[in-house]
């Protein structure tokens, strides 16, 4: 098994690269969705790294494309302008405080499901200057969505689950410790891990201390090396 599959952002990076090669985008975000509709494992293409944290903490509930609004639907791709009239959007706090500062105007979200539940979303963002999504572009997104959803559900998510299970069984790591380990292996520093998991730096340091103890390592480099060795033999 490839060691790279543990990296929580590998599939997202490749998917964002695909989308960027197919149509013009200003920014894009690919994130996993937990059962409670919380975002996890977000990857941002060409955008501010604090954008996702700001969105989840303050503006998610205001978003006309919030995943909770599509929980019981089978929509593959939805645009922002299909959910709210442009003049109402531009009057909203969501647009004025979040979209406008990040130079977003047009949005198309791709929804990925597993057994009917939304498990991931890829959000394609455009500045006003790029114009709205054409019918041809939306048809393209709708056509590639099934393949991306299939790959997500049959390759990436099962492999990631298997690898997390290997670490849990080998070292008795908790779910939160596995989250920290994944991000550490992906190259994130303590501040980035804290931001991703919405935890304090002190809490991250405590989790790392426990991981070091359970895996019997003395440094981050040794932890990463041991983790990759386990992946290569799992």
CATH of 3-157, one of 3.30.450.80, 3.10.450.50, 3.40.630.30, 3.40.50.300: 3.30.450.80
Most confident of 39-43, 147-151, 154-158: 147-151
Domain ranges of the chain: 3-157, 172-233
CATH fold of 172-233 reads Arc Repressor Mutant, subunit A (1.10.10)
Query: 115-146: per-residue pLDDT in tens?
Result: 999 999 999 999 999 999 999 999 999 999 99
Query: What are the CA-CA distances from residue 133 to residues 70, 73, 74, 106, 167 (Å)?
Result: 20, 22, 21, 7, 43
Identify the pLDDT of residue 210: 95
Query: Three-class SS of residue 42?
Result: strand
Percent of the chain exceeding pLDDT 90 equals 57
Cβ neighbors of 12 (< 8 A, separation 6 or more) are 30, 31, 41, 42, 43, 122
Tokens of 5: 């599959």
Q: What is the mean pLDDT of residues 151-165?
A: 84
Residue 1 confidence class, pLDDT cut points 50, 70, 90: very low
Q: Are 46 and 13 in contact (CB under 8 A)?
A: no
Query: 165-211: per-residue pLDDT in tens?
Result: 888 888 999 989 998 998 888 778 898 888 778 789 999 999 999 99
Identify the pLDDT of residue 4: 43
- Judge if pTM exceeds 0.75: yes
3-state helix, strand, coil in the chain (%, to 5): 60, 15, 25
- pLDDT value at 6 more than 60: no
């Amino acid at each position: 098994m490839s060691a790279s599959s543990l990296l929580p952002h590998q599939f997202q990076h490749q998917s964002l690269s695909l989308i960027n090669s197919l149509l013009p985008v200003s920014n894009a975000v690919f994130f996993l969705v937990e059962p409670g509709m919380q975002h996890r494992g977000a990857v941002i293409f060409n955008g501010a790294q604090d954008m996702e944290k700001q969105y989840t903490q303050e503006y998610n509930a205001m978003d006309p494309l919030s995943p909770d609004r599509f929980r019981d639907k089978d929509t593959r791709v939805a645009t922002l302008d299909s959910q709210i009239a442009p003049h109402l959007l531009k009057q909203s706090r969501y647009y004025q405080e979040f979209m406008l500062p990040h130079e977003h105007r047009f949005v198309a979200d791709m929804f990925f499901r597993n057994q009917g539940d939304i498990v991931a979303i890829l959000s394609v963002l455009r500045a006003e200057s790029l114009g709205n999504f054409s019918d041809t572009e939306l048809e393209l997104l709708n056509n590639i969505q099934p393949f991306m959803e299939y790959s997500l559900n049959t390759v990436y998510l099962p492999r990631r689950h298997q690898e997390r299970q290997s670490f849990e069984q080998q070292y008795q790591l908790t779910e939160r410790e596995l989250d920290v380990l994944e991000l550490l292996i992906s190259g994130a520093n303590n501040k980035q891990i804290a931001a991703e998991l919405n935890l304090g730096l002190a809490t991250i340091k405590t989790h790392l201390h426990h991981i070091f103890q359970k895996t019997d390592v003395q440094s981050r480099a040794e932890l990463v090396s041991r983790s990759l060795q386990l992946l290569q033999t799992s």
